[in-house]
Structure 1
Amino acid sequence: MLNPLMLVTGVAALFLAAWCGWAARRDQPTKDWHFIGMAVVSLLAVVQLAVGIVQLARGEDPEQGKTIFVAYLLGAFACIPAAGFMSLAERTRWGSVTVAAGGVVLAVLEVRLYDIWGR
């Protein structure tokens, strides 16, 4: 797996979490700019998913198994879009809190992906 891609995705997710956390602190819901940030982080997760699948197709194996690696890749891919949709349903500060939590979860998933890949 591309370690720099994992690092960039994790850091971007933490920046998104901090940004949406700041909006929640100011009692604001998610706004259009937050959704652009979510799109950028989601794009990084899509690239990571594609790279992971290509590496598996080339015969590279994660240390802890392909199944768990693919499951974490799919979870990382779905994390921010799911939080974004939930924030649309909750148009208060709690929508921003939801996206902030999704960013933290994605960062943790990135650390776990690094551990699963093992290189």
Structure 2
Amino acid sequence: MLDGVIWTVSVLALLLAAWCGWAAYRDSATKDWHFAGMAVVTLAVLVQLVVAVVQLTRGDRPAHGLAVFVPYLAGAVCVVPAAAFMSLAERTRWGSAIVAAGGVVLAVLELRLDQIWGAGHG
């Protein structure tokens, strides 16, 4: 997998986590611009999904197995939209905290995807 895609998604996820964490600290619910940030992160993850599918169809395989890689990739695609949905249900500071936690979870999933693929060598 391309290291650049993984690191871009990781950095965007951590920026989203810091931004929404700051909003939660300030006792603010998620606003429209937070959802725009979530859309940017989700778009980056979808680009990653396309890159992964292209590499898999070319014959590249994860070093630690396809059965481990695919669920992590699916989880990475779902985590920010799930956090967005949950933050809509919780229109308090805790909605912002949910999105911040989702950003941290996505960053950890990205690091694990990099390890599963073979630390960028594959």
Considering the TM-score relative to the shorter chain, is it more than 0.5? Answer: yes
CA drift at 1:10: 0.2
* SS of the residue 2:111 aligns to: helix
Alpha-carbon distance in 1 for matches of 2:82, 2:50 = 19
Please name the residue that 2:69 is paired with: 69
1:43-88 CA distance string (max 9 Å, x none) = 0000101110111111101000012111111100001000000000
Identity rate, percent: 65
Alpha-carbon distance in 2 for matches of 1:103, 1:7 = 13
Amino acid aligned to 1:75: G
> Which deviates more from structure 2 when the two are superposed, residues 9-18 or residues 50-59?
50-59
Residue 60 (1) aligns with residue 45 (2): no
Structure 1: 5+ residue runs without aligned partners?
none
Residue 24 (1) aligns with residue 24 (2): yes
Please name the residue that 1:103 is paired with: 103
Residue 2 (1) aligns with residue 5 (2): no
Alpha-carbon distance in 1 for matches of 2:48, 2:78 = 12
CA drift at 1:107: 0.2
Please name the residue that 1:114 is paired with: 114
* SS of the residue 1:9 aligns to: helix
* SS of the residue 1:55 aligns to: helix
**Structure 1 ranges of 4+ moved more than 2 A:** none
CA drift at 1:112: 0.1
Amino acid aligned to 1:26: R
Please name the residue that 2:33 is paired with: 33
Alpha-carbon distance in 1 for matches of 2:79, 2:51 = 18
Structure 2: 5+ residue runs without aligned partners?
none
Alpha-carbon distance in 1 for matches of 2:49, 2:70 = 8
Alpha-carbon distance in 2 for matches of 1:50, 1:70 = 13
Aligned-pair Cα RMSD in Å? 0.5
Give TM-score scaled by structure 2 length: 0.96
